[in-house]
A and B are shown apart, each in its own frame.
Chain A
């Protein structure tokens, strides 16, 4: 049997559908922003968002208002869709996951100003290596997690203005420049059982850079901007988006949920691209289901829907195209929930809500070794994540990815040693 790799007309058509869907998603964010706030409030809010530090946890809804936060997210998502199209990237599961991650984190840390320094750094790396930038595009997209380093230096230090700007620019570009070789190398540490590899890499880089900064007396100012009271309006938007995904996926899948169970058979370990393996319609349904589950988890535990939790929900939904499904994320929610029953915090504390949502980075452990191991991983993760943020001063937005990498690196070899399954 010969396996052809040519891109036929059918695949091109499917790619166009994917791009249109993502553009519609981007515009939905912008339109929702303008529905809830006036243009004047949005512009003022955007200015505040761009000129304030973004250390964890900075809820852009609290900084600039709901409208500005949604517009920031929507515009950034649309810009990156445009860049991906210009680079002639074929939109697959990882592309969708990366874009949803951008959309989600644009509610608490990534903005129209701070992401470009990392992107430029990765671009320069590709030029030094004499390679196409497109080869490194996913590292660049995921790498924008380190963007708060730029704004923290530019807007939070007491240095003279030009020195602040120059230093922030240098550090941002520098981080982008070293990110590709490190992210490729460090993926082996957790064997692909942590879906947020750049979070792990960013945590390592952040720990080292922040340690050097601390030696010179620079301390990141911790923030805790966390909005409440918007569950109804944000819940409606999220349900409309995710139910639409399920509906459109159902329609594209010949008006059926046929073969949806095939997705549940994958462990979700890197690299599991559902778009390539099971097609876009089923992936869209899976993403919608993940989004509904994540949203309702927050509502069930009486948590708050706000910038950071929307970021987590979008991440769970986005990775519904690249490794996560209801079967491997549920044990993670359960593990964090059990942890909250026995540990010293509440299930709806901000950091624990985020641990549950972003802890789904460890979903492949549940998918590969069984749900009970997923529960254990999440139970441990909810403790680890509360302790590692201080290492990078909250300047790596994927703090849960950092913690998940550590948990996976320790847990997977132990599980494998005592329970080795045939693939």
Chain B
């Protein structure tokens, strides 16, 4: 697959932009390349107490893996700050976990090789 590393960084870009829009001021990113997959972990605070945004995030990330969509549109991820491309992120990952507490959100995404 061409530009695989750039695609991973695009996923991170998109998530960071979304977290900023949730009022994040402290974002930690941990990216690991394992033998069979990439693991992206983002831990962030959020000040915008907007449950709708979290629900939207879950809904968008639920979109099934779509290699053919990724191949066509992956360049759009992380490129726009007036709209979200989280649906595309959902299509680019295989598994996701979302943990939220009062003021912290933790995202764990897996993308198999």
Contacts and interface: CB of A to CB of B under 8 A. Distances in A.
A344 interface: no
Given A3-B61, A423-B82, A272 B69 contact: no
A7 interface: yes
Residue among A185, A187, A420 with most chain B CB within 10 A: A187
Interface stretch (A127-135, A302-310, A311-319, A387-395): A127-135
A10 interface: no
Contacts of B68: 89, 134-138
A187 B76 contact: yes
B84 interface: yes
A3 B97 contact: yes
Nearest to B60: A277
Given A5-B64, A276-B63, A423 B72 contact: no
B74 interface: yes
Interface string A112-145: 0000000000000000010110111111000000
A188 B3 CA distance: 15
Interface string B63-89: 111111101111110011111110110
Nearest to B2: A129
A348 interface: no
A2 interface: yes
A44 to B, nearest CB: 38
Given A184-B75, A422-B21, A90 B83 contact: no
B27 interface: no
Interface string A1-30: 111110100010000000000000000000
Chain A residues touching B, majority SS: loop
Interface string A213-238: 00000000000000000000000000
Contact of A191 (B69, B76, B99): B76
Interface in A396-416: 416
B75 A187 contact: yes
B63 A184 contact: no
A138 B82 contact: no
Residue with the greatest number of chain A CB neighbours at <10 A, chosen from B74, B76, B84 = B76
B13 interface: no
A368 interface: yes
Contacts of B17: 423
A166 to B, nearest CB: 30
A380 B87 CA distance: 30
Contact of A185 (B59, B67, B75): B75
Contacts, number: 109
Contacts of A422: 21, 82
B29 to A, nearest CB: 19
Contact of A3 (B81, B85, B96): B96
Interface in A61-106: 89-90, 92, 94
B71 A135 contact: yes
A1 B98 contact: yes
Interface stretch (A245-253, A263-271, A353-361): A263-271
A6 to B, nearest CB: 9
B87 A271 contact: yes
Contacts of A187: 72-73, 75-76
A1 B87 contact: no
Identify the 10 closest CB pairs spanning chains A and B, nearest first: A3-B96, A135-B71, A1-B98, A192-B76, A188-B75, A271-B88, A276-B63, A271-B73, A135-B67, A423-B21
26 contacts: A1-B97, A2-B97, A3-B58, A3-B97, A11-B64, A131-B71, A134-B68, A136-B71, A136-B72, A137-B68, A138-B68, A184-B74, A184-B75, A187-B75, A188-B79, A191-B80, A192-B73, A192-B80, A270-B73, A271-B69, A271-B73, A271-B91, A277-B60, A277-B63, A423-B18, A423-B82
Interface of B: 1-2, 17-18, 21, 58-69, 71-76, 79-85, 87-88, 91, 93-99
Given A7-B64, A138-B68, 9 more contacts: A90-B66, A129-B2, A131-B1, A187-B73, A277-B59, A277-B60, A421-B82, A423-B17, A423-B83
